[in-house]
Amino acid sequence: MKLKQKILEFIRKAYEDDEGGKSVSETGAMTDDDRLAIRELFDGMSTGTARIIIEEEMDSQMVEDYDIAPLENKGRYYVARIVQTDGKAIRLLVDKQTGKVQFEGR
């Protein structure tokens, strides 16, 4: 079997297993780490990468004054809440495929 076919078969079986099917990869049962790695592959980026992108977009003063709340996975985007020490929050969208950051609603 060719490499691309093996990868495709591995991914297909991983999704079948993740959706409750009985299929497993040729190397044995899928671990949670395997499933997470495959899901991140299809998502385009991890939450950790999205946080790094947001931190790079913020200037040093904002990093000190604001905290990044846990990101929400919304399909193609991550929604980030940037919370100021007084409780005010700004919502940002991070495009998983391009890395572009924008204010929510714009």
Q: What is the pLDDT of residue 26?
A: 47
Tens-place pLDDT, residues 37-87: 666 666 678 888 888 888 888 877 777 788 889 999 998 899 999 998 888
Tens-place pLDDT, residues 1-31: 466 667 777 777 776 765 555 444 445 566 7
| Domain parsing of the chain, residue ranges | 3-43, 47-103
Mean pLDDT of the residues in the chain: 77
Residues 6+ apart with CB under 8 A from 29: 17
Element (H, E) at 98: none
